[in-house]
Structure 1
Amino acid sequence: EFVRLYGGEELAPLRIQYKDYAVWQQSEAHQEWMQRQEAYWLNTFRGELPVLDLSTDFARPAVQSTAGDTIEFILEREVSERLKELAAQTGSTLYMVMLAAYTTLLHKYTGQEDIVVGTPIAGRPHAELSNLVGVFINTLAIRNYPSSDKSFLEYLQEVKEHALRAYEHPDYPFEELVEKLNVARDTSRNALFDTMFELKTLEQREFELEGLTLSSYPLDNQTAKFDLSLEAIEQPEGILCSLEYSTVLYKRETMTRLAQHFAEIVRAIAYHPQQPLAVLNMVTDEEQEQLIYGFGEVGVTDVAAVEAGALF
């Protein structure tokens, strides 16, 4: 819109304004809809709430810090294409496949079989809202149950179902959910989940303005809103991943290794999605060489255990 206005064009007037949306939010029909959404989320998070028990390099401070850093890595094109084919074959989406892969990684690292990952949602379900100025973004807390005996295909179907149901109930504010659940507040961490995942599908466009040259400018991000945040975006050369992490909890080399393990798991999923989660390999070639040649006495059983993720 800025480019069009700069070029002298006129934009079509908006049919509704944000105040119209606010009035609609207060309507009786919307309140009834919100009650149904509330019931879904309260049911999803009934019982004991899991806390991600991911080992840290440093002791967790009493008050959460926003100091962070980011590591970028890419999932090569062939693997990315196989993931999209897997999504098409299973009636899921690339987001669901990637979320299943990410929670598989967290399961292997922690051994936990009840994991909550946050994900942002645009909050603009109606076409009338697409060009309306205002903040509509909400956060969905998606709960999944990875276990070592499930095949990835089986687990993906569960993730698909949970994601679809979450996206059918996108309007209930995350802050209200936390309040209704009466979550014990801990100043050292976020409420309900400690990690987020987002697959961005932003349209990559080149803008041209007479007399101006436009190019993207990389931001040097030194903050982290959560312990871990994984962001993925499709590029011509593959899927570009950005891993944002808290530097008061993790060393850079630890996060580099975690990124490598995620890439290995994704590769294993792309070629062997029928395998159980326990069998999906996340050990890099370099680590396998160290295990085989670096320690001398490591046996076949030990190597197999590491390949299954049991020692990580």
Structure 2
Amino acid sequence: RVGLVEWEAERHLLMLDIHHIVTDGMSMSIFVEELLRLYNGETLEPLRIQYKEFAAWQQSEPVKERLKRQEAYWLDVLEGELPTLELPTDFVRPAARSFEGDVLPFSIDKQMTDSLQRIADENGATLYMVLLAAYSILLSKYSGQEDFIVGMPVSGRTHADLEPLIGMFVNTLAIRHYPSGEKAFLAYLNEVKETMLGAYDHQDYPFEELVKKLQAPRDQSRNPVFDVMFALETKEDNVQSFGDIKIESYPETHTVSQFDLTLVISLLDEGMNGQFEYATKLFTRNLIDNFAQDLLVIITQICEQPSVLLKDISLNGQSEQEQDVLEAIDIIF
């Protein structure tokens, strides 16, 4: 569905309502670009393939055989009882999931961004891997757990012919983390890197099929397999020009959270923007602000001392050892 509202002679609001089953984030960028080109009188080149051909290819025997091998990989890395991440919450978890949510934005300056990129380059990793490692350390510090799963989206466009297509290609990968306190950060980063490379090599296996195969007990109050997500995206300019036309995204109030907690990092020319999308039935904004501030604290320590042991990375100035001492003092007195 499409609607157009005229505010004034040369100012309009274009509203699009498209079901997620037929589109994804990259598709929307393609849609806007092609719409502007058509509006400007251009002729679009014919597509090499259609989405229906991609769907048919997915059902072909060679692909089914490859997915069978990928299935074995995921069942191996997720074998045994699946860990449930228990983050501290401000409210008792509802019996059934609520999708009411909000977002809390924060920023990572250019100096810190450059330091993270340097760590990535020196260790044969990507910025995505370094940020995911830092995020998982935050989750471990708050939960006290050293085995949990974080979800991450992948574009699913593994062939060049798929890049110009509009459709739903995105898949979700379940990345298992083991941030033991005795590990040095650089060693842990290498572990995260190897885990992600393995996941990328097996990214075609549909997450919904994995959920079925794992046969994990269903809990109406939680998502299957994991409750936290991480995503890194390239931030496009808010204002785009095409000929005499200028377009910008219309700001909307965010009131939905599909998961307990999702961290989204956007790359900018000068640093990065971050936002925590969170379930308001579980967390107050104050606790999420603590998450954001502590993530920056963790990143700062990683940049200053990349070889630091995970147990010595502190939150609000306290390492795990210091926290243990304080807890012991509390028990004594």
**TM-score by structure 1 length?**
0.90
- Per the alignment, residue 199 of structure 2 pairs with 166
Bigger fraction of residues in strand: 2
Q: How big is the shift at 1:219?
A: 2.5
CA distance in 1, matches of 2:325, 2:186: 17
The aligned length equals 295
CA distance in 1, matches of 2:224, 2:36: 40
Is residue 183 of structure 2 the alignment partner of residue 150 of structure 1?
yes
With over 3 angstroms needed to count, the CA separation of the structure-2 counterparts of 1:177 and 1:89, relative to structure 1, is: same
Is residue 158 of structure 2 the alignment partner of residue 141 of structure 1?
no
With over 3 angstroms needed to count, the CA separation of the structure-2 counterparts of 1:242 and 1:307, relative to structure 1, is: farther
CA distance in 2, matches of 1:224, 1:10: 39
- Per the alignment, residue 274 of structure 2 pairs with 241
Q: How big is the shift at 1:213?
A: 2.9
CA distance in 1, matches of 2:320, 2:170: 45
CA distance in 2, matches of 1:309, 1:20: 62
CA distance in 1, matches of 2:325, 2:47: 55
- Per the alignment, residue 241 of structure 2 pairs with 208
Q: How big is the shift at 1:201?
A: 2.3
CA distance in 2, matches of 1:81, 1:303: 28
Q: Which moved more, 1:126-135 or 1:302-311?
A: 302-311
* Structure 2 unmatched runs, 5+: 1-33, 329-333
CA distance in 1, matches of 2:125, 2:199: 14
What's the secondary structure of 2:38's corresponding residue? helix
CA distance in 2, matches of 1:261, 1:203: 27
With over 3 angstroms needed to count, the CA separation of the structure-2 counterparts of 1:29 and 1:114, relative to structure 1, is: same
Mapping of residues 18-57 of structure 1, within 5 Å: 18-57=51-90
**Contact 1:5-1:11 at 8 Å conserved across structures:** yes
Q: How big is the shift at 1:226?
A: 0.5
Q: Percent identity?
A: 47
Could you list the per-position Cα deviations for residues 213-247 of structure 1 after superposition, in whole angstroms to 9, with x for gaps in the alignment? 32233321011111100000111331110101111
Is residue 296 of structure 2 the alignment partner of residue 263 of structure 1?
yes
Q: How big is the shift at 1:88?
A: 0.3
**Contact 1:279-1:307 at 8 Å conserved across structures:** no
Q: How big is the shift at 1:273?
A: 1.0
Q: How big is the shift at 1:192?
A: 0.5
Q: How big is the shift at 1:307?
A: 10
- Per the alignment, residue 251 of structure 1 pairs with 284
Q: How big is the shift at 1:100?
A: 0.3
CA distance in 1, matches of 2:108, 2:325: 21
Q: How big is the shift at 1:212?
A: 3.2
Is residue 79 of structure 2 the alignment partner of residue 62 of structure 1?
no
The structure 2 residue matched to 1:132, chosen from 159, 165, 185, is 165
CA distance in 2, matches of 1:89, 1:184: 42
Q: Which moved more, 1:201-210 or 1:47-56?
A: 201-210
Runs ≥4 residues deviating over 6 A: 307-311
Q: Which moved more, 1:79-88 or 1:201-210?
A: 201-210
Is residue 322 of structure 2 the alignment partner of residue 305 of structure 1?
yes
CA distance in 1, matches of 2:238, 2:209: 37
**Contact 2:312-2:320 at 8 Å conserved across structures:** no
**Contact 1:83-1:94 at 8 Å conserved across structures:** yes
Q: How big is the shift at 1:272?
A: 0.8
**Contact 1:120-1:137 at 8 Å conserved across structures:** yes
Q: How big is the shift at 1:304?
A: 6.3
- Per the alignment, residue 81 of structure 1 pairs with 114
**Contact 1:282-1:307 at 8 Å conserved across structures:** no
CA distance in 2, matches of 1:172, 1:135: 15
**Contact 1:114-1:143 at 8 Å conserved across structures:** yes
Q: How big is the shift at 1:12?
A: 0.9
**TM-score by structure 2 length?**
0.84
Q: How big is the shift at 1:303?
A: 9.8
The structure 2 residue matched to 1:276, chosen from 305, 309, 325, is 309
